A and B are shown apart, each in its own frame.
Chain A
Amino acid sequence: MPHDPPLLSVEGLKVHFPVHAGVIRRRQVGAVKAVDGVSFTVRPGETLGLVGESGCGKSTTGLAVLRMQAASAGRIVFDGTDITHSSRAALRPFRRRMQMIYQDPFGALDPRMTVADIIAEPMIVHNIGTSRAERRDRAQDLLAMVGLRPDMATRYVHEFSGGQRQRIGIARALSMQPDLLICDEPVSALDVSIQAQIVNLFESLQDRFGLAYLFIAHDLAVVRHMSDRIAVMYLGKIVEIAGRDALYARPLHPYSQALLASIAIPDPELEASRPQISVTGEVPGALNPPSGCRFHPRCPRAAAVCAREEPVLRDLGEQAVACHLV
């Protein structure tokens, strides 16, 4: 499988938000570099976890891949086609193949539509299924597929719980038979018990349809459970990208180490004895990121070179890491 051609390939993606000042003559005084040179691939049927603190640019990356946020630089290649600058019309067939699952299950579904209409809407947009009855039948099949009762199709969104709504959102995405789901923190708004159910649903759907996931999250336990490979982001850059087992067994980047060390262990005695790696200070702003390695002001192992030179992502076989000290 590692030698399959990638389904999604992102190369040097940058998303910068210009900052303007001045009342009469507006001029650009800087840019928030939300995503600053990110590259990764997602193979068919694979799950790539994208982790990092809030504000590190992981959601913006997801939006840029969907072309819901314009890329400032770089390329987004989906199934061999460069879609970075595709027109709206040229993008349509790709919109069908990439779908997004949202964090907030309460905001992602139109409260004025029945569940059947919500699930059928993508089919109408993409002319899947000819008649109303056909689309309704398919909506009911999809409801059953995500673990809801088909007779719930006539209800409105407010009658459902958070977990049920997330299932409806998944059914809507599946109605287009996509190849890639971009899941932006899909379980972080749910109760822990519900999270497990939704994660299991994601896994069974992947087995059944060969879906690929770009799984954006900050919950490291969920990401570990879901992902084949994991990319760690810090301040708009990927600092380490590795297979799941390799990363969790031997994180190389100091930031990855600190991130993984922050996972609490359910056993209080082990928890008390586990090594602590503390990262001090706050995440610097993306408007004026630190020179050299962006992590160096907070890095416990920072050397002189770290402030001077920006480390590149180096491939070390199983893992790729952007750090001078590895």
Chain B
Amino acid sequence: MAASSPGWLRRLFRDKKLGAIGLVIVLVFLFCGVFADWLAPFGMNQISPVNRLKPPSAQFWFGTDHLGRDMFSRVLYGARLSVIIGLSAASIATFISVTLGIVSGYFGGKVDMLVQRVVDAWMSFPELIILIAVVSVIGPGMPQIIGVLGLTFGIGGSRIIRGAVISVRENMYIHATQSMGAGTLRVLLRHILPNIMPPVLVLFSTRVGGVILVESGLSFLGLGVPPPAPTWGGMLSGAGRTYMYMAPWLALAPGLCLTAVVYGINVFGDALRDLLDPRMRGSR
């Protein structure tokens, strides 16, 4: 497949400038998250009572919060948590969606019936209930959040993939592959999967933003990554909301970072979708 060759990366930077910018944004935030220990001028929880609620300045680039913690440092550390949660939960979700969607859509009949009723049952639970149940059993923490959000988003998204699989399955090239004696795995991986990549990529890129936002809501309820760990969602919904009028930078710093990452993932996903489609070759 074309995706395995570095050719798509070259074409990304040549033909899809916006998508390339998206990729760079995501990589910059990943870099910041991974190397936050070296990049951050202050510790993430280092408080300084004399410097409370200071506006952005040369010393505190993004200002300080109500405990005098440096917002720039916290946003850098937040990138680690939020981007990791976003990317990994969205990856798990996409994997689950694709697996369930392909199995349900391709095999159809009784398998489809069974899988879809399980999906119905799962989706009729509010995800909050499931998360509260999990957190109360094993306690709050990042792996639980990633797992539950990945599972919940994944099962919900499988409907979209199933629909795409059903429409791809009807193509005669699938029939042709079956009639030449190819195994089911080959049909699924070489023909179905590449042809459902557009909705898969859209699903993934929208899920990243969705997961980060849901995580922020969970943090607000005390079900997310527990404070004082700096997640963007936690910063937005905690001090960001409380001091919105006195110190708008508390909400703006994590909010703008969140916007930038979600935007970056979305434009990169769109560009990747176009690049992987042979019909879009040469278009901009």
Question: What is the interface of chain A, defined by CB distance below 8 A to chain B?
Answer: 66, 68, 91-92, 95-96, 99-100, 102, 104, 107-113, 121-122, 125-126, 156-158, 169, 172, 176
One digit per residue, 1 when the CB lies within 8 angstroms of any chain A CB and 0 when it does not, for chain B 125-147 equals: 00000000000000000000000
Question: A121–B177 contact, CB under 8 A?
Answer: yes
**Chain B residue nearest in CB terms to A109:** B173
* Cβ contact of B195, chosen from A108, A110, A125, cutoff 8 A: A110
Question: B176–A172 contact, CB under 8 A?
Answer: yes
Question: A68–B180 contact, CB under 8 A?
Answer: no
Task: State the CA gap A197–B195 with chains docked (Å).
Answer: 31
One digit per residue, 1 when the CB lies within 8 angstroms of any chain A CB and 0 when it does not, for chain B 185-198 equals: 01000110011010
Question: A112–B180 contact, CB under 8 A?
Answer: no
Beyond the given pairs A68-B178, A112-B278, 8 more chain A to chain B contacts, judged by CB atoms under 8 angstroms and listed by A's residue number, are A68-B175, A102-B176, A104-B172, A110-B177, A112-B191, A125-B181, A125-B182, A126-B181
Task: State the CA gap A108–B197 with chains docked (Å).
Answer: 19
Residues of B within 8 A of A108 (CB): 172-173, 175-176
Given contacts A66-B179, A91-B181, contact A102 B279 (CB under 8 A): no
Task: State the CA gap A102–B183 with chains docked (Å).
Answer: 20
**Chain A residue nearest in CB terms to B1:** A112
25 A-B pairs within 8 Å (CB atoms) are namely A68-B175, A68-B178, A91-B181, A95-B180, A96-B180, A100-B175, A100-B179, A107-B172, A108-B175, A108-B176, A109-B173, A109-B176, A110-B173, A110-B191, A110-B194, A112-B1, A112-B277, A112-B278, A113-B190, A121-B177, A121-B180, A121-B190, A125-B180, A125-B181, A156-B281
Chain A nearest CB, measured from B175 CB (Å): 7
Q: Range of interface residues on chain B?
A: 20 to 34
Question: B179–A95 contact, CB under 8 A?
Answer: yes
Q: Is B57 an interface residue when CB atoms closer than 8 A count as contact?
A: no
Within 8 A of A (CB), among B14-36: none
Task: State the CA gap A179–B251 with chains docked (Å).
Answer: 72
Most central of A110, A157, A158 by chain B CB within 10 Å: A110
Nearest first, the 8 A-B pairs at minimum CB distance are A95-B181, A156-B278, A112-B194, A107-B172, A110-B173, A108-B172, A125-B182, A122-B180
Question: A121–B182 contact, CB under 8 A?
Answer: yes
One digit per residue, 1 when the CB lies within 8 angstroms of any chain A CB and 0 when it does not, for chain B 147-174 equals: 0000000000000000000000001110
Residues of B within 8 A of A169 (CB): 176
Question: B172–A102 contact, CB under 8 A?
Answer: yes
Chain B nearest CB, measured from A5 CB (Å): 24
Question: A156–B181 contact, CB under 8 A?
Answer: no
Residues of A within 8 A of B195 (CB): 110-112
Task: State the CA gap A176–B176 with chains docked (Å).
Answer: 13
